[in-house]
């Protein structure tokens, strides 16, 4: 039995009648970009997240850049960011003219090591950008305390964190602003690129709306207050997301069920480490399994074996950001971030999506068992 790393075809086909009805309306109205369906999505996501403002944009990378610029981050500033994340977490900082200052990660959660943050603060530090990665949020209580002590912005890369909460607040609302990604593989996915900025700050929201449409005020074309971006969300993607939002909680529950299956079936393999959901204070993070991440010293051999047997995987992230050639001028060396570098050598994502069947999880786990059994022979 082959098992792809990701497939959303079954759930999408089930949702298609609802989506089709909305697409027909968009075609009839002729409003295809940043139109009424996008505005409806923004209102629904404001209700869902509790955010005062949700600003839909073309993708989450644009969302990060627009968020940074809207918050006033620019040339000469430094932004503290974990070095184990998707490239856009750092490239967005560079794109606005600021400098990413890298931190190592907590090896159990893959989020920024809060004990390192204050050591990285300088007179040029403008913001901390925690990344909520894979299943749970960074330690926002400590991060906010540090930011308050040093008068810093907190701008959350919450791209993967739809429906993650801390102390009753949705991810992206614990600091000054945050973002969400709707890339097709995400927990709430479109069928193309789409992203969102969320904030309770009126000024950041106003600037974000300005920046997403070439720096012009909405409804006042051809007068450009700033040099902005062409980052409007398509109404087609908004229609799909409105429908899929209605199914989000049951899909998150399915992901949790699949993760529990994985945990149980892989528990007795000593060579692997399954995800740890970390308790902070009196609160246990509400895990949302965007990715089911496994760690093993034999990662590359395991990936090759699973590929040979028709099972898809994804290596997260084989090259930490501080080792990327484009950031070599910053002077980081291999060995500077040992926890991130270990994860880069050991971590692999297994198939995890609501369309997965119990039998597919069985197949993945059986092949992992067979791989390690061969190694023990």
| Count of domains observed in the chain | 2
Residue 3 counted as domain residue: no
Do 196 and 238 belong to one domain?
yes
Strands 153-156 and 177-181 turn out to be parallel
Rg of the chain on CA atoms, in Å:
21
Q: What is the mean pLDDT of residues 204-231?
A: 95
Q: What is the mean pLDDT of residues 350-375?
A: 95
Do 207 and 255 belong to one domain?
no
pLDDT tens for 10-49 read 998 999 999 999 999 999 999 999 999 999 999 999 999 9
Q: What is the mean pLDDT of residues 284-298?
A: 89
Three-state SS annotation for 78-91: EEEEECCCCCHHHH
Do 270 and 153 belong to one domain?
no
**285 is in which domain, residue-wise?**
248-376
The CA-atom distances, in angstroms, between 128 and each of 121, 198, 317 are 9, 17, 21
Do 240 and 254 belong to one domain?
no
Q: What is the CATH number of the domain that holds 133?
A: 3.40.640.10
Residue 340 counted as domain residue: yes
How many whole angstroms separate alpha carbon 352 and alpha carbon 350? 6
Residue 114 counted as domain residue: yes
Do 261 and 231 belong to one domain?
no
CA angle 302, 305, 306 (to 5 degrees): 85
pLDDT tens for 108-150 read 999 999 999 999 999 999 999 999 999 999 999 999 999 999 9
pLDDT at 284 over 60: no
pLDDT of residue 281: 58
Do 208 and 129 belong to one domain?
yes
Do 49 and 21 belong to one domain?
yes
- Residue at a domain's end among 185, 216, 245: 245
Q: Which string of b and e fits 319-336 if b means at least 16 CB within 10 Å?
A: ebbbbbeebeeeebeeee
Residue 1 counted as domain residue: no
Question: pTM, whole model, 2 decimals?
Answer: 0.96
Do 159 and 278 belong to one domain?
no
Do 195 and 291 belong to one domain?
no
Residue 4 counted as domain residue: no
Q: What is the CATH number of the domain that holds 352?
A: 3.90.1150.10
pLDDT of residue 167: 87
């Amino acid at each position: 039995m082959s098992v792809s790393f990701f497939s959303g075809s079954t759930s999408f086909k089930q949702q298609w009648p609802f989506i089709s009805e909305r697409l027909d309306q968009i075609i009839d109205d002729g409003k295809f970009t940043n139109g009424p369906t996008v505005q409806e999505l923004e209102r629904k996501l404001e209700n869902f997240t509790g955010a005062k403002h949700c600003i839909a944009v073309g993708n989450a990378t644009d969302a990060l850049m627009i968020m940074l610029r809207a918050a006033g981050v620019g040339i000469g500033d430094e932004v503290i960011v974990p070095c184990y994340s998707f490239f856009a977490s750092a490239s967005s900082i560079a794109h606005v003219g600021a400098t990413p200052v890298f931190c190592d990660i907590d090896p159990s959660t893959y989020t920024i090591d809060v004990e390192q943050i204050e050591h990285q603060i300088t007179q040029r530090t403008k913001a901390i950008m925690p990344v909520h990665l894979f299943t749970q949020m960074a330690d926002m209580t400590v991060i906010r305390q540090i930011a308050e002590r040093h008068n810093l912005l907190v701008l959350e890369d919450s791209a993967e964190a739809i429906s993650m909460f801390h102390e009753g607040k949705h991810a992206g609302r614990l600091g000054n602003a945050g973002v969400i990604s709707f890339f097709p593989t995400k927990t709430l996915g479109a069928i193309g690129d789409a992203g969102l900025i969320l904030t309770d700050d009126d000024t950041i929201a106003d600037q974000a709306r300005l920046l997403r449409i070439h720096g012009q005020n909405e409804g006042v074309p051809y007068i450009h207050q700033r040099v902005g971006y062409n980052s409007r969300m398509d109404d087609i993607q908004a229609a799909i997301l409105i429908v899929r939002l209605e199914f989000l909680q049951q899909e998150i529950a399915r992901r949790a069920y699949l993760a529990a299956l994985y945990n149980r079936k892989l528990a007795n393999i000593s060579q692997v480490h399954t995800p740890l959901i970390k308790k902070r204070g009196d609160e246990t993070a509400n895990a949302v399994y965007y990715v089911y991440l496994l760690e093993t010293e034999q990662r590359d051999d395991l990936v090759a074996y699973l590929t040979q047997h028709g099972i898809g995987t994804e290596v997260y992230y084989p090259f930490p950001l501080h080792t990327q050639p484009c950031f070599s001028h910053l002077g980081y060396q291999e060995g500077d971030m040992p926890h991130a570098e270990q994860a880069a050598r050991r971590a692999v994502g297994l198939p995890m999506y609501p369309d997965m069947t119990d039998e597919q999880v069985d197949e993945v786990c059986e092949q992992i068992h067979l791989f390690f059994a061969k190694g023990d022979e």
